[in-house]
């Protein structure tokens, strides 16, 4: 299967500082990739470089075989880059429904289909963004990204600060979304344990460089890798 997302030799950072010295990474349709690493290792920078909002010093980003490197962030979004940033960035003065219809593009992911995935959003469809709980805001951020009908869904710490029951619901939804066809996902997550059950593949970054890239099942079988790179105790990794 051809790669849906291909990042080749990507050098990116902020100002004059290079955070990613030469990142190469590719994902196939239906793949969920967990991006792990300690704070400051370049996880968010990689997401932001794919979105197109940090400085690029070199390298390329391709989506479904098309080079999108020269595109602005809004053009990349229309081309199929769906982004759920840590801050969620929902429109707080618009209703749930308006948040999604404002950006919707034609495709299989309609507002109604998002409501099927997240019934709570349907119940809150007339509420404003600032009237939602943290979990509901995160569902809306994901729903809004889906109505763009993306090929790649980028999620930056989507479970941070949420109750365990909401986390479980969100991760299950992300798995269903990704495996429903035509899409792949990258999830930045601090807690390796939360994500291992969902991800097919795990990439660990250190200083903007990939130091581990393997199937999630291999990491479960050898939790010493987590301990070495993330300081996660072996006992917790079972």
Write the CB contacts of 56 (distance below 8 Å, at least 6 apart in sequence).
Answer: 10, 11, 12, 49, 69
In a domain, 172, yes or no: no
In which domain, by residue range, is 63 found? 1-80+153-159+188-238
For each of the chain's 238 residues, which pLDDT tens digit applies? Answer: 679 999 999 999 999 999 999 999 999 999 999 999 999 999 999 999 999 999 999 999 999 999 999 999 999 999 999 999 999 999 999 999 999 999 999 999 999 999 999 999 999 999 999 999 999 999 999 999 999 999 999 999 999 999 999 999 999 999 999 988 889 999 998 878 888 889 999 999 999 999 999 999 998 888 898 889 888 754 444 3
pLDDT of residue 233: 58
E strand map for the chain: 3-14, 17-28, 32-36, 55-63, 66-67, 81-84, 152-156, 184-188, 201-206, 209-215
In a domain, 207, yes or no: yes
In a domain, 203, yes or no: yes
In a domain, 26, yes or no: yes
In a domain, 18, yes or no: yes
Write the CATH number for 22. 3.40.50.300
In a domain, 214, yes or no: yes
In a domain, 39, yes or no: yes
In a domain, 106, yes or no: no
Q: What's the Cα-to-Cα distance from 199 to each of 152, 164, 234, 237, rounded to whole Å?
A: 15, 18, 19, 15
The total of structural domains in the chain comes to 1
State the sign of the Cα–Cα–Cα–Cα dihedral 44, 196, 100, 95: negative
Half-sphere exposure of 224 (CA within 13 A, CB side): 1
């Amino acid at each position: 299967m051809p790669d849906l997302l291909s990042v080749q030799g990507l050098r990116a950072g902020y100002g004059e500082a290079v955070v990613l010295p030469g990142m190469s990474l590719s994902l196939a349709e239906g793949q969920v990739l967990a991006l792990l690493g300690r704070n400051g290792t370049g996880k968010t920078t990689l997401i932001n470089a794919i979105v197109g909002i940090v400085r690029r010093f070199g390298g390329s980003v391709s989506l479904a075989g098309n080079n999108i490197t020269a595109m602005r962030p809004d053009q990349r979004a229309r081309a199929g880059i769906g982004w759920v940033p840590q801050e969620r960035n929902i429109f707080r003065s618009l209703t749930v429904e308006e948040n999604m219809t404002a950006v919707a593009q034609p495709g299989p992911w309609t507002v109604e289909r998002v409501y099927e995935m997240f019934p709570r959003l349907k119940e809150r469809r007339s509420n404003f963004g600032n009237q939602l709980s943290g979990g509901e805001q995160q569902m809306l951020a994901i729903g809004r990204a889906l109505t763009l009908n993306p090929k790649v869904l980028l999620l930056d710490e989507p479970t941070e600060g949420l109750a365990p029951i909401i986390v479980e619901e969100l991760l299950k939804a992300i798995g269903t979304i990704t495996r429903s066809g035509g899409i792949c996902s990258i999830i930045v997550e601090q807690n390796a344990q939360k994500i291992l059950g969902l991800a097919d593949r795990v990439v660990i970054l250190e200083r903007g460089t990939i130091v581990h890239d393997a199937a999630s099942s291999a990491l479960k079988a050898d939790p010493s890798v987590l301990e070495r790179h993330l300081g996660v105790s072996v006992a917790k990794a079972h």
